[in-house]
Structure 1
Amino acid sequence: MMYQRVREYIRRYHMLDKEDRVIVGVSGGADSICLLFMLMKLKEELNLDVLAVHVHHGLRGEDADADAEYVRRICDEWGVGLRTFREDVRKLAGQSGLSLEEAGRDIRREIFLKVRGELGSGKIALAHHQNDNAETLIWNLCRGCGIRGLGGIAPVTGPWIRPLLYLKREEIESYLKNRGISYCTDETNLEDDYTRNRIRWHVIPYLEEQVNRQTVSHMSETMEQMRVLGEYIRQEVARYGAGCIRYEEDRAVLDKERFLQTPEALRPSVIHEMLCHAAGRRKDLETEHTRMLMELLDRQVGRQIHLPYGMCARRCYEGIELSAAGERPQSVGADGDAVCGAEDGTKEYPAVCRVFGRTGNRVIFPENPYTKWFDYDIIKNTVKIRHREPGDYITITKDGRTQKLKQYFINEKIPARQRDKIWLAADGKHIMWIVGYRQNQKYQITEKTRRILEIEFYGGQSDGGKYKGIDSGEGCCCKN
């Protein structure tokens, strides 16, 4: 019986204890309605305090209104407390440069945590299931991932619990149908607009039909094994990292001699954890950045590289010094490599630019988050790679709404000490790109674009060849 399976899964991962408060995300779809039903049954056994939270994203008009009303009715019928929030996800996506899917996920997370904070405690229950996990695994593999990504969605992450992760989507829908429990269907989940939807409706069905009917179950079992292995590796990485990395107020120092005593298989993970610790986040810190740091260990003292979020890594006598940001680079050495603190006083230039004509109607944008394309023909001034200056502003919406750069930093909660160290691509005072954060809406490629400016930050060819021939001084990039 499904309820017994869910109860056992909750017990196995210690998701709930007696008299726990549980905040349940309820969209009205089959997964969340099933989750709420299960928790209401479990409430009687554990004396749980259950509160439902519904987020209206303001995207689907009357359909979204109907979902919200359905959730209200079902909560009234089952005697569940409910809090409903209405948000403008489209507006948030436009302001932050996120997709609608990403913006919606961020808003829901913020709201769940807000409610938990107001209550003072509580577990946050989400309705992810096996199919969601299989989609996540495929998506992670396609984008490139490490051990953490191979573990998929975890049953428990801090206050977040996922009691249905052991079930398949068809099991959930069949369970509700057999008990006469209705649910809402979000038609946008049936469309191919999102990558996850294409994986859901095309990739997984193909694997199940043409490879193995138990594809989703086998993926789930593998991810569970990878999570166990990943936890062991995490502990070992922390142990070896503690022995070779010294964290100070505004920098981290890697001792090369001690680092080389770390098993080779763990070294990239030790480096990656140092990067994430220094940046205070994991997003956009990729294998390429780890590789760049490891290669820096074999370079001469004084060499430096620039990394996402304004970080700078410098080869020092001890090993590597990773700081929030290095001094402002002015030029490149003769070999195109990064030079910092050398006798000739040269430093690495942080970007490479090129202009090329558009060919054909279809544009395939670069996947590297530190390579961006801009409409070259609308640029008014010489593009400069620099740090912020008084009067800087950025266009944040397609209809032309602008925002002062200072206000953008405040809204994004970027610490004041970091703001002068963030790289910018600027057309006069008009900021085209806040590197590592946001691209200007005005300079986006459109059907009218004839010439494209490409700016590539942080890296290039392993021999530094892409840095050759860049002007020194204020950062004259192009557009004379």
Structure 2
Amino acid sequence: MYEKVKATVIKYKMLEPGDKVVVGVSGGPDSVALAHILTRLAKEFRLTIHIGHLNHMFRGKEAELDAASVARLAEKLGLPCTVERIDVPAYLSEHRVSAQAGARYIRYAFFEKLADEVGANRIATGHHADDQAETVLMNFLRGSGVSGLTGIPPVRQGKYIRPLIEVSRQEIENYCRYFDLPVRFDASNAKNIYLRNRVRNQLIPFLQKEFNPKIVQTIARFSEIARDDNEFICREAEKAWQLLGVEERTEEIRFELDRFWEWPRAVQRRILIKAWEAVTGSARDIMYTNIENLLEFLKTGPASGYIELPKGIVAQKTYNSVIITAQYEPAQIEYDHELKVPGRTIIPEAGLTIITDVKQIAAYNMDAKAHGIDKGLKAHAVDYDRLHGDVRVRNRRPGDRFQPLGMRGTKKLKDFFIDLKIPVAERDRYPVITAGDNIVCVGRLRIDERWKITESTRTVLIIKIIDEIDS
């Protein structure tokens, strides 16, 4: 296996003489084997190696034993080692991201920080051929295009290297046994609650048994071919980007359509993905169906119009040009009316009627019916005594912010609509009710946290919105 890994390192130019390498070691067989092999390569490549281990604080005592095992390995290999503990569960709770995504973000941030501290120019991780097969299959099952089928790149950003990417999990485990290396096993990898675990524990064994015993190697070859094809398409797309004379502005891309249609459809897709990335800062969150719908709109849609994309991005077509922007706002219906309290207020511009009532309550009770408030009417109930200034109803405006019920901080109204996946064209249907400079509620969607009923509430303002003009 040593010679195989060395060949991979040379093939992908992963290391140069004198490199300083941070090796991410979890304690599992793959990363332990990686640390051992790089130590053997160190003399030939004149490498300086530093082991890094992150305790994610997911697994209690088991995680502590992992850290101790890695420290012993480093001592055995004569390598410096940094072990750090970060409360990833707390991070997940605060940022509301998945366990896998949050742990990956924290882990790579740790690697970057450690590399800066020790002056390393390479970060090595233990991804191997089985990881590659799992990633390709997962992306295939999700409907990925060619770029997703390239899997895990052997080298990323010229800094991250995967020397084990062409060896199998079985080869790695055999290597660890041969050299009697201390390894730890994460029991959570056997639980089929994540897609990757199901692919690893169920799908790949099934494919090996029923179709191809060497499916891992087959997928590895396929991903390499896909990577070569993907690089060619990317180069062509970059060439097209330059020839199109794309105008790049803050959160906005503009180009002419006549020359766009001269390129093959594969390149057209990449141009649109590149435009998306330029506007959003990431290639994530755009799906095949989004790109195909956009292509169809540009080809057969009206001469002037727009189509909505994820994350509030809009592609606007104006005859022979297209603008992809995060700043697009269609012409809004302007209105601003005093809200009759109590009483009925007709909003002719929006085709709405707003009915308000005021009720006194003797004591706090979360049951709305105890205050004569029928939840079936889908009415808002807020603390009237805490509102200051004239109560008015108006259309949404640029820069609007409020604190949605249940949130700790404020949020842009635009982002609130995006989170709820409300199309741009429908956002004017939601009137904004204000008191002074503060938003009280947004249509029937949400009240502001600051005006909710509490134990000190004695006067309740009830707001009911009807989707018709009630005369």
Give the TM-score of the pair, scaled to structure 1. 0.74
Residues 437-476 of structure 1 mapped to structure 2, 5 A cutoff: 456-457=421-422, 471=429, 476=443
Q: Does 1:260 align with 2:261?
A: yes
Q: Secondary structure at the match of 2:246?
A: strand
Q: Secondary structure at the match of 2:147?
A: helix
Aligned AA (1:255): E
Q: CA deviation at 1:296?
A: 3.1
Seen in structure 2, the aligned counterparts of structure 1 residues 388 and 51 have a Cα distance that, compared at 3 Å, is: same
What percent identity do the matched residue pairs reach?
28
Aligned AA (2:408): Q
Q: CA deviation at 1:61?
A: 0.6
- 1:182 maps to 182
- Between stretches 102-111 and 384-393, larger displacement belongs to 384-393
Q: Secondary structure at the match of 2:207?
A: helix
- 2:403 maps to 392
Question: Does the 8 Å CA contact 1:23/1:52 hold for their aligned counterparts?
Answer: yes
- 1:355 maps to none
Seen in structure 2, the aligned counterparts of structure 1 residues 275 and 469 have a Cα distance that, compared at 3 Å, is: closer
Per-residue deviation, residues 88-109 of structure 1 (Å, max 9, x unmatched): 1111112222111111111111
Task: Give structure 1 stretches of 5+ with no counterpart.
Answer: 332-345, 348-375, 396-401, 407-418, 426-433, 436-454, 460-466
Supply the distance in 1 between the matched residues of 2:57 and 2:377 (Cα, whole angstroms). Answer: 34
Per-residue deviation, residues 419-470 of structure 1 (Å, max 9, x unmatched): 67x4314xxxxxxxx62xxxxxxxxxxxxxxxxxxx54459xxxxxxx8999
Seen in structure 2, the aligned counterparts of structure 1 residues 289 and 477 have a Cα distance that, compared at 3 Å, is: farther
Residues 95-106 of structure 1 mapped to structure 2, 5 A cutoff: 95-106=94-105
Task: Give structure 2 stretches of 5+ with no counterpart.
Answer: 334-348, 351-374, 382-394, 433-441, 446-463, 466-471
Question: Does the 8 Å CA contact 2:244/2:259 hold for their aligned counterparts?
Answer: yes
Question: Does the 8 Å CA contact 1:296/1:303 hold for their aligned counterparts?
Answer: no
Residues 144-163 of structure 1 mapped to structure 2, 5 A cutoff: 144-158=143-157, 159-163=159-163
Seen in structure 2, the aligned counterparts of structure 1 residues 236 and 215 have a Cα distance that, compared at 3 Å, is: same
Per-residue deviation, residues 279-314 of structure 1 (Å, max 9, x unmatched): 111111112322232233233344123333442221
Q: Does 1:300 align with 2:302?
A: yes
Question: Does the 8 Å CA contact 1:385/1:477 hold for their aligned counterparts?
Answer: no
Supply the distance in 1 between the matched residues of 2:398 and 2:196 (Cα, whole angstroms). Answer: 37
Q: Secondary structure at the match of 2:249?
A: coil
Q: CA deviation at 1:124?
A: 0.7
- 1:15 maps to 14
Q: CA deviation at 1:175?
A: 1.1
Question: Does the 8 Å CA contact 1:386/1:424 hold for their aligned counterparts?
Answer: no
Question: Does the 8 Å CA contact 1:125/1:161 hold for their aligned counterparts?
Answer: yes
- 2:240 maps to 240
Q: CA deviation at 1:245?
A: 4.8
- Between stretches 300-309 and 62-71, larger displacement belongs to 300-309
Question: Does the 8 Å CA contact 2:54/2:85 hold for their aligned counterparts?
Answer: yes
Supply the distance in 2 between the matched residues of 1:71 and 1:108 (Cα, whole angstroms). Answer: 16
Aligned AA (1:28): G
Per-residue deviation, residues 146-183 of structure 1 (Å, max 9, x unmatched): 11111111111111100000011011001111221120
Seen in structure 2, the aligned counterparts of structure 1 residues 87 and 393 have a Cα distance that, compared at 3 Å, is: farther
Q: CA deviation at 1:10?
A: 0.1
Seen in structure 2, the aligned counterparts of structure 1 residues 457 and 87 have a Cα distance that, compared at 3 Å, is: same
Aligned AA (2:403): D
Give the TM-score of the pair, scaled to structure 2. 0.75
Q: CA deviation at 1:327?
A: 1.7
Q: CA deviation at 1:380?
A: 6.6
Supply the distance in 2 between the matched residues of 1:378 and 1:17 (Cα, whole angstroms). Answer: 70
- 2:205 maps to 205
Q: Which has the larger radius of gyration?
A: 2
Q: Does 1:107 align with 2:101?
A: no
Question: Does the 8 Å CA contact 2:20/2:119 hold for their aligned counterparts?
Answer: no
Q: Secondary structure at the match of 1:127?
A: coil
Count of matched residue pairs: 383
CA RMSD of aligned residues (A): 2.9
